[in-house]
Chain A
Amino acid sequence: MLIKQARDIKPSEITSKADYLSRRKFISLSSSKILSLYILHASLLKSGKVLAAEKIENFIKNTDFSTDEELTKYSSIISYNNFAEFGLDKEDPAAYSGDFQTSPWKIKVEGECDNPGEYDLEDIINPHQLEERIYRLRCVEAWSMVIPWIGIPLSDILKKFNPNSNAKYVAFTAPYQPDVMPGIGKVAYEFPFVEGLRIDEAMHPLTIFATGLYGEELLNQNGAPIRLVVPWKYGFKSIKSIVNINFVRDMPPNTFNKFAPDEFGFYANVNPQVRHPRWSQARERRIGKFFKQDTLMFNGYADQVASLYSGMDLEKLY
């Protein structure tokens, strides 16, 4: 006798793949944005997805360059982000970057150097010793954090490509993937996001490429799998999820400057004296603290970096 066994789940109850893949769009369209973010965020936290970062083994602590200030909470660092490709609200990058793939990852190196080419991320990272650097991060929006990055001095990475004497600047590019980046098309910036440094800024020992923080690999919202960290400049200079490194002769464009030249310059050195039309740069709110604190010249790294800019009018070259 044939006994038909009922299926556990009726086919009609299974969410179609298309629905599953567009679930974020559905949520954001079908209810008010605030509500959807709450639900999404709470469910992500409950399911542990937000915290599913990989541990990084084998890194040394670099105390010479690290501050001993109180660290910003990990939960704040991974939930309060500016990553315009995923939306402009601070919660957007954590909520909407889930479909962004960071493995495998390649970086194209081009321009004024002897070893251009397309490199696998592992080949760029593996020759180097990862180290922890606890840096202050000052956002141009007048908030700040203290973040224990894990990364590699950028100069060590760049030297492997043998930049020639024409390489006066380094330009960086972030990915352009509108299908998984809901901010593209919505946010008025020109994408892909581009940034750049003068070669001496890029080679400065404080400048790093970070691959992790708090002993864990970077999450998408923090710029996985690899990002720039330049602690004496406003946060937007520290471009996330880098796919292209280009050694160039002339000053490269940077996205924020193209968007609002009166507000954002190329240098973007933290400077409490240079006024900004939207945010006073004299003080900052450290995330997690109630009272604001004074912003320091070069974000407190003046001793190390002021000499890079001797003779320059920092009021004009903001």
Chain B
Amino acid sequence: MQKLYKPLLFSVSLIPFGVLIYNGFRDNLTANPIEYITHYTGDWTLYFLLITLSITPLRNLTGKLIFTCFRRMLGLFAFFYACLHFLTYFVLDQYFDFNAIIEDIIDRPYITVGFTAFVLLIPLAVTSTKKMISRLGSNWQRLHKLIYVITTLAILHYLWLVKADTTLPITFALIFSVLMTLRLPWAKNVKKFFISEIQPSSH
């Protein structure tokens, strides 16, 4: 199962990147391509963060352990799109203008939190290898709880940028809070409740 699904998921996760490249070659990235690429890669970072965070609740609710096998890859794709997002800003938008970048990070709250979220993702990506997992032991779990902080900062980053139309960042925040709620201890009882409801009818 795993062997079949993993390459499939890997290819599917690359589709947004492929679409971006395709549209780039077709000169189909609006009148302001750099802004478009920045927003597009930022959107996909958030999508992948939320998809990654939905794995544990999915496992808990369905009892299917297979979901956990995809979590690392999805998390790394969140990092991949975050890297593209940051590089777009660093190279295409600011063109290595360090003074302007530092001013942005210090002066503009939405960039402060966005940059922090990106920096915090790096240790998670670095410690995603099997070797690191076993070496860090129980600290690994603790370290990777940072994803909750990162996602919060990423949503704030979006919210503070758009300001006037908050539909999407608020939607992300709602999804995020549902995913967090499903991690609370009572969520396991909900699962038990559902399973006991379903079982009699399956006779």
What's the interface size class on B, roughly? 20 to 34
| Contact (Cβ within 8 A) B31 A187 | no
| Contact (Cβ within 8 A) A278 B110 | yes
- Decide if the interface of chain A is mainly helix, strand, loop or mixed: loop
Q: With A277-B109, A278-B110 known to touch, is A90 a contact of B31 (CB < 8 Å)?
A: yes
Number of interface residues of A (CB under 8 A): 32
Instruction: Assess whether B107 is interfacial by the CB under 8 Å rule.
Output: yes
Q: A285: which of B32, B100, B103, B108 is its contact (CB, 8 Å)? A: B32
Query: Which residues in B have their C-beta under 8 angstroms from that of A291?
Result: 95
Query: Which residues in A have their C-beta under 8 angstroms from that of B32?
Result: 80, 90, 143, 285, 287
CA distance A35 to B164 in the complex (A): 23
Distance (whole angstroms) from the CB of B96 to the closest CB of chain A = 11
Contact with A along B1-40 (1 / 0, CB 8 A): 0000000000000000000000000001011101100000
Which parts of B51-102 form the interface with A (CB within 8 Å)? 92, 95, 100
Which parts of A269-314 form the interface with B (CB within 8 Å)? 275, 277-280, 282-283, 285, 287-288, 290-292
Instruction: Assess whether B167 is interfacial by the CB under 8 Å rule.
Output: yes
Instruction: Assess whether A14 is interfacial by the CB under 8 Å rule.
Output: no
- What are 9 contact pairs spanning A and B, CB under 8 A? A80-B31, A84-B164, A87-B165, A90-B31, A91-B30, A143-B32, A186-B165, A259-B164, A280-B107
**Which A residues lie at the B interface, using CB under 8 A?**
38, 73, 75-76, 79-80, 84, 87-88, 90-91, 143, 183, 186-189, 259-260, 275, 277-280, 282-283, 285, 287-288, 290-292
Extra 14 A-B pairs, beta carbons < 8 Å, given A187-B164, A280-B103: A73-B31, A76-B31, A79-B30, A80-B32, A84-B164, A186-B165, A188-B163, A275-B107, A277-B108, A278-B110, A280-B104, A288-B31, A290-B92, A292-B95
**Which B residues lie at the A interface, using CB under 8 A?**
28, 30-32, 34-35, 92, 95, 100, 103-104, 107-110, 160-167
